[in-house]
Structure 1
């Protein structure tokens, strides 16, 4: 039970015994720095019910708490605020209950409880993953881990966009300019090789457009009549008709890309429990449209196209089936959502990690599923996030100006190496240990910088700024964890004993324990809000509090053995909390730096 939960019970008893009334809620806030106290109860909401002066009401409740509880040591009242000073014994007793709990803050899922499916990544197979995909993957993976830590079963999934005109563009360019190149013959990752041909197609396409415009065509006409786009469209028709040669090439080139993606995911430290492929799902949903027509949810226009009218819900009319009977993306997404629940019957909700340019699409999708009568539709969530930009501006994949995910991870590792070598604290490390450390710091910097920002906000990514060893950065927090491990290695005495509740603790020790007490609630809030930023910034606050403690309180130099044991235990627990929090962000912490 948290301090606020304990105090709520005591205050309810106080109001019952002193005033003869029952209250349900008690409002708390942090005590202002200029007043003595650890937590403040707001008295004003009780004034009307208790019919009294707020200072007198606060004083009577305070007197009751001091006389009848072990938690409250003393109090003071300022206007309508009851500032409570909590006894050291409360913090020590709490600390003794968590200090050996390696999974403090995490809640196990309950048998029979509905699971949550989190979708992220969902790339196209015509190009490698880029900086935008990194934010998507890091957000999706972290939210999945946070929801799992909050006590729910989680499935991680993605849908791979492996069909369509964009795929045919890469295939056509490979046929024309590839000369039989393969990942093995070129030494390139498969996704990069295929991405090169996507860029090559665009160059050829633009050249043809310019030539047609020079011949007197309008730009719009030129775009439609360019030989390359006509050939790509013909290839798509052949794929949809099951042409053996086209399908064989499609399978080969897509496998190159899948293999490349897996390598990137492994290096980034994200994983998946299931994969869905658009080539398998693009026809899903057509049966649902027929069901919706019969139920009067959808309506058919004279040309045979099928729509849903959402104008009464503040949206617009949305097509779900073209006049030629082909499905649109919305149809596919409806079918895929239903299929996922069939595949995983315990799923009761889904989180879609997709950029904010798709906000309207998901409003429509969720509303349609709700109108179709699926009870789990109320538990669908669009984890909408802002785009990532660089100091140089936006990225364009067709022109080959994107920041490649693999290259960025290498750059982050190299930057971490340069800064670490400048600091000169790696004596005794083997080359292998150094390489591992550089990668841990570099990826930690990248992930923390991405995740500390509220997902909804657009962000500017600055690689060098992210690897700073000072301030609100991943390396700063990792360095504090390594410092704590150094303290534990130097502690040449048994520090596992239970700390006596009689021991007097320093104000800085109390602040550290208060900060750790918040961790379980922060996990629950981060899960409810789908926001890794809450975890990231909580960890930074904890680390700042520890460094203040470290600078003002002697740990290994303390002469009193009980106090020394307590401080080492406290440092260890802070380290464990940092490690747990960072695991939710997908970040590793080094034992030494």
Structure 2
């Protein structure tokens, strides 16, 4: 039982014995820095049930706690706040109970529990990964790792959107204007080469629109009747019909893109347990559209299109199959969800990491799956996140105004190198060691900058702002970890002994911060929010730096103080490493 649970039970008992009132809940908060105490009971909510002066009520409860709870050393009451001081013994015993630091905060999964499948990345194969995909990947990967740390069995997956009109646009542009170019002949990564032809299609399509408008058509008419678009639509129908030439080209160009994606994922430090392809799952989706028609979940319009009427649930009518029989995104997503449960029967829920512009889509998807009778549909969660903006404005793939993920990773490493060189912290490093460190710092800066923000919030991302060795940044936290490693390298004495002694206030504050970590992991898992872990880590590092500046560690007067402070530093470093692990961020041993 945690200290807060113990105190909550005892406060309820104090109120019952002193006032004959059975409290349902007790409200706690951290004690404000200007008052003595470690945890505070808020008295004001009790006044709805207990008549009297809040200070006197606090005094009564405080006296009861001192008499009945060994961990409570003293108390003070300020207005309606009961500030409780916890004994040093409690904190040193907790501290000594952390045996395997490398697993501190993590829970071993229960083999009988249902698994969770986390989907992220899920790109289209008509363009390379960009900054928006970076936020998606970092969020999804981190949430998967946090859920694992919280004791869940997790499968990491993505659905590769490898079919549809967008893919046909790239294919058609390459066929028309590519002159047989390949990644090998151009020296370009495959995803970049294909992305260039997606941009090329848009450029040529716009020329055709302008030409048609000049001949007297309205803009709407010109957009619909442009020959390039009509040919791309015909290519999609040929693909769905299994046309050999179209399918062969599709396989060739998608193969280029997959190789490019694999390289980017490796550089970004994310991975997947299993992959799904829209070209496979949309067929299963179409099967269930047919099933839904039979059961009355879907309705067929006179033009042959199939819809789901959700107006009774406060939504609208949603198309699930076009009049020409081709699938829409909803068809594919229905098929994908069902296929995943078929492949992994132990999955009891799914997390979809997709931007907030798709909020409505997922409301509809989850409701349709429930209507189709799937029990697991109640455990589906849309990890909705805000867009990433740049100082220069919004990105547009078809116009080629995106920040390429590979370029961003390279730029972060380069900027980290420039700043590190200016600070002159890398004497004695080889060039190879420097380059590896620059990448660790650069990626750490990028990941931390993105993950410290609540997923629902929009981000304005400036690469140079993220690489700062001061403040709430990845490099600042990495530097603190490296500083602790330097202390540990100098400590040539036994750290395995348990020490109990009166605590310096800075030691106590640091242990209190350490104690929060397991709860932070659980809360982050429940909220699907890496930001809780990121900002906790910053608070821990701030507390350590205050301790470092105010207390002598290796120069402590007494041997037991020196050993304890090095032990404390070591456990802080391990907790930083554990926290950054679930964020997908590496920590350097030297910096």
Distance 2:254 2:160 in 1: 10
Counterpart residue number, 1:198: 198
What are the residue-to-residue correspondences of 1:327-406 with 2, within 5 Å?
327-406=327-406
Contact 1:99 1:570 in 2 (8 A): no
Q: 52-61 or 463-472, which moves further after superposition?
A: 52-61
Q: Kindly tell me: are residues 99 and 515 of structure 1, through their superposed partners in 2, closer, same or farther at Cα, counting changes over 3 Å?
A: farther
Counterpart residue number, 1:142: 142
Matched, 1:547 2:552: no
CA apart distance, 1:377: 1.4
What are the residue-to-residue correspondences of 1:200-279 with 2, within 5 Å?
200-279=200-279
Distance 1:509 1:51 in 2: 40
Distance 2:530 2:337 in 1: 25
What are the residue-to-residue correspondences of 1:143-158 with 2, within 5 Å?
143-158=143-158
Contact 1:445 1:467 in 2 (8 A): yes
Distance 1:237 1:325 in 2: 10
Gaps of 5+ in 2: none
Counterpart residue number, 1:447: 447
Q: Kindly tell me: are residues 157 and 187 of structure 1, through their superposed partners in 2, closer, same or farther at Cα, counting changes over 3 Å?
A: same
CA apart distance, 1:123: 0.6
Counterpart residue number, 2:7: 7
DSSP-derived class of the 2:83 partner: strand
Q: 1:516 is matched with which residue: 502, 509, 514?
A: 514
Q: 43-52 or 107-116, which moves further after superposition?
A: 43-52
Counterpart residue number, 1:64: 64
Counterpart residue number, 1:564: 562
RMSD: 1.7
CA apart distance, 1:414: 0.2
Distance 1:210 1:170 in 2: 21
Contact 2:445 2:473 in 1 (8 A): yes
Distance 2:173 2:51 in 1: 81
Q: 1:527 is matched with which residue: 521, 525, 537?
A: 525
Counterpart residue number, 1:412: 412
Q: Kindly tell me: are residues 139 and 288 of structure 1, through their superposed partners in 2, closer, same or farther at Cα, counting changes over 3 Å?
A: same
Q: 278-287 or 149-158, which moves further after superposition?
A: 278-287
Deviations for 1:237-292, whole angstroms, at most 9, x for unmatched residues? 22222222221111111001001000000000000111111111122223323333
Deviations for 1:89-120, whole angstroms, at most 9, x for unmatched residues? 11100000115432111111101101111111
Distance 1:14 1:141 in 2: 46
Distance 1:312 1:227 in 2: 41
CA apart distance, 1:193: 1.1
CA apart distance, 1:398: 1.3
Counterpart residue number, 1:590: 588
CA apart distance, 1:206: 2.0
Distance 1:261 1:64 in 2: 63
Counterpart residue number, 1:103: 103
Contact 2:278 2:336 in 1 (8 A): no
Deviations for 1:200-257, whole angstroms, at most 9, x for unmatched residues? 2222222222233333333223323333223322322222222222211111110010
Counterpart residue number, 2:497: 497
Contact 1:451 1:532 in 2 (8 A): yes
Q: 373-382 or 44-53, which moves further after superposition?
A: 44-53
Contact 1:99 1:569 in 2 (8 A): no
Deviations for 1:290-347, whole angstroms, at most 9, x for unmatched residues? 3333433333334443322222221112222333443322222122111111111111
Q: 459-468 or 161-170, which moves further after superposition?
A: 161-170
Contact 1:99 1:573 in 2 (8 A): no
Contact 1:496 1:565 in 2 (8 A): no
Distance 1:99 1:472 in 2: 29
CA apart distance, 1:432: 1.2
Counterpart residue number, 1:428: 428
Matched, 1:185 2:177: no
Q: Kindly tell me: are residues 340 and 373 of structure 1, through their superposed partners in 2, closer, same or farther at Cα, counting changes over 3 Å?
A: same
Q: Kindly tell me: are residues 567 and 27 of structure 1, through their superposed partners in 2, closer, same or farther at Cα, counting changes over 3 Å?
A: same
Counterpart residue number, 2:159: 159
Q: Kindly tell me: are residues 217 and 21 of structure 1, through their superposed partners in 2, closer, same or farther at Cα, counting changes over 3 Å?
A: closer
Distance 1:385 1:336 in 2: 21
Gaps of 5+ in 1: none
TM-score by length of 1: 0.96
Counterpart residue number, 1:85: 85
Distance 2:445 2:290 in 1: 50
Distance 2:79 2:589 in 1: 49
Contact 2:454 2:529 in 1 (8 A): yes
What are the residue-to-residue correspondences of 1:465-476 with 2, within 5 Å?
465-476=465-476
Q: 39-48 or 267-276, which moves further after superposition?
A: 39-48
Matched, 1:506 2:504: yes
Contact 1:2 1:517 in 2 (8 A): no
Distance 1:92 1:18 in 2: 32
Q: 331-340 or 40-49, which moves further after superposition?
A: 40-49
Contact 1:488 1:568 in 2 (8 A): yes
Contact 1:74 1:86 in 2 (8 A): yes
Contact 1:158 1:274 in 2 (8 A): yes
Counterpart residue number, 2:117: 117
Alignment length (residue pairs): 591
Counterpart residue number, 1:537: 535
Distance 1:55 1:437 in 2: 56
Q: Kindly tell me: are residues 545 and 390 of structure 1, through their superposed partners in 2, closer, same or farther at Cα, counting changes over 3 Å?
A: same
DSSP-derived class of the 2:511 partner: helix
Q: 309-318 or 446-455, which moves further after superposition?
A: 309-318
DSSP-derived class of the 1:29 partner: strand
